[in-house]
Structures are given as C-alpha cells and as structure tokens.
Amino acid sequence: MSDSPTPDDGAGAPRRVTVERDGHLLLIGLDRPEKRNAADLAMLQQLALAYGELDRDPEVRVGVVFAHGDHFTGGLDLGDIAPRVGPEGLAMVPEGGLDPWGVQGPRVRKPVVLAVQGTCLTLGIELALASDVVVAASDTSFAQLEVARAILPFGGATLRFPAVAGWSSAMRWMLTGDRFDAVEAARLGIVTEIVEPGEQLARAVELAHRISVQAPLAVQATLENARLAVAQGPDAAAARLQGELVRLMRTEDARIGMEAFLRRETPRFTGR
C-alpha cells in the first residue's frame, strides 16, 4: 500500500485510467505508473466508470484490466483517500459507474480477465478476487497488508479470500500482511496462469478473445449462475438452471450455434 501523498492536481481530475476497444474487448488500463499505480479517488472513480461502460455496451463482451508501467498497483494512495472517508465510508462510484470490486452495488455482468505484474498490493488482490481469469507475470509480488496500516480490506478480500483459498490460508496472509509470490497466489486460487514477465497482457487478451467468440448471452448466464452458487449455495443455482436453459434455447444465438454445428462451421454469435 502506497503511503505517498498525492499532489494537488488542480480543478480537473487527472487521467488515471485508459479505455480502448479491441474488437469485442474493452481494455482498461491503470495509468499512474509514476506512483506504482497507487489508487487515488480519481483512479477509483474512473475505473468504476470504465466498468459501467463494460457492463452497458452491447458490443463489448469481455473486459481486460491491466496496468501501465512496471507495477499493477501499490495499493491505496492513503494521502488522498484517508481524508475522503466519511461517516458512511468512501464514495467511489459516480453516476454511470459500477464498483469494480462488486461490494458497493451490483457486479459487472460480463467476464473480466486481469493481467498483473510487479507489485500487486491490497486492492489489486481484491480486484483479482473479483475478476474471472487472472494472468500473472512470474515476478509479481502480492500482499494484503491493510492491517499494517490500521485498516481492514474493504474491497472484498474478507468475503472472497477465505472462500477461494480456505480460512487458514487466507488468514495467514490477511492477518500478517506478509508478501507472497505468484506461485503461492496460484496455489491459493487467486491467479489462474503464470507467464514470463512482459507476457501477461498478451496472454490475458488472448484468453479474452477466446471468451469473446463464444455466445455472449450464454457466457453471461454461466457467469451469473456460478456466482449465484457461490453467493447463495448450489441449491439456489440449481433451481435456476432449467429456466435459463429454456431462455437461452430461444435466442438467435442458439439457432446460429445449431446451424453452425450441423454445417460444421464456426458460429458467429450476435448476442441476441
């Protein structure tokens, strides 16, 4: 977690997040490399707006989140964030945005593939836990060190870390604030794949493209049902399966998929 203060940026908020299209992908980049991509309020709000765009745009099927520079994130910029925490907590989701960590309000409905490298602290781990596929450079260093700054993880680690890694493993890292490497992150279930440094974004984009050519409504339904199973248990998710199957079978994509299967062609799904 960065302890560096944020200078006065003047009246206009500085650009902290880049957003660009790559076919059906929305590439979202943390862009404060001179501060190891430490998150000030401007970054949090711009990231939330990017997630809102990902969720709403019918042409976008998958999000890819990465960071410019050598580090994914040094965590929170406490010098900027601490004074902004009011009686109700931290307001970081502007109108039109979605909480990237899925704690304040609904989660983004489309898959997110994350690429991390260098330092990945606190909210970076929590963003990985809130994402669906995570590619890490082999030199990535992780730490959930909020307790060393007299706060607690408020981006979902207390909810998701124990569910993914098991109680004892999660507590070992959350209660000590110690650092761990990419191999341990993969063992804990935070990281999906480890690649050579510098290859993480290309691999994340490759996987995102693989997802994007599948039927979008089916991808979103699969994601939603799996999340429901985690949040409310397998019975709640099972109760929705048949209804979701019927709904999807009535879509244009189901017809396209069947015709492509019979003709032994590659389907081109429309998302309808």
Q: What is the pLDDT of residues 197-241, one digit of tens each?
A: 999 999 999 999 999 999 999 999 999 999 999 999 999 999 999
The 3-state secondary structure of 114-158 reads: EEECCEEECHHHHHHHHCCEEEEECCCEEECCHHHHCCCCCCCHH
Task: Output the pLDDT for position 5.
Answer: 34
The confidence band for 18, taking pLDDT boundaries of 50, 70 and 90, is very high
pLDDT at residue 266 above 90? no
Task: Output the pLDDT for position 85.
Answer: 87
CA-to-CA distance for 160 and 3, rounded, in angstroms? 25
pLDDT at residue 4 above 70? no
Helix axes 157-165, 123-130, angle to 10 degrees: 60
User: Residue 45's Cα: distance from chain center in Å?
Assistant: 15
Task: Output the pLDDT for position 221.
Answer: 96
Task: Output the pLDDT for position 223.
Answer: 97
Mean pLDDT score, 244-266: 88
Long-range CB contacts (within 8 A, 24+) of 226-231:
227/107, 230/163
Taking the CA of residue 229 as centre, how many other CA atoms within 13 Å lie in the half-sphere pointing to its CB?
A: 11
pLDDT at residue 27 above 90? yes
Query: Phi and psi at residue 162, in whole multiples of 5°?
Result: -65, -35
Q: Could you tell me where the beta strands, DSSP code E, fall in the chain?
A: 17-22, 25-30, 62-67, 112-116, 119-121, 133-137, 141-143, 179-181, 193-195
Task: Find out whether 270 and 252 touch, Cβ atoms under 8 Å.
Answer: yes
**Could you tell me which of 50, 29, 157 has the C-alpha nearest to residue 93?**
50
CA-to-CA distance for 29 and 255, rounded, in angstroms? 36
Average pLDDT of the residues of the chain: 93
The confidence band for 267, taking pLDDT boundaries of 50, 70 and 90, is confident
Taking the CA of residue 130 as centre, how many other CA atoms within 13 Å lie in the half-sphere pointing to its CB?
A: 27
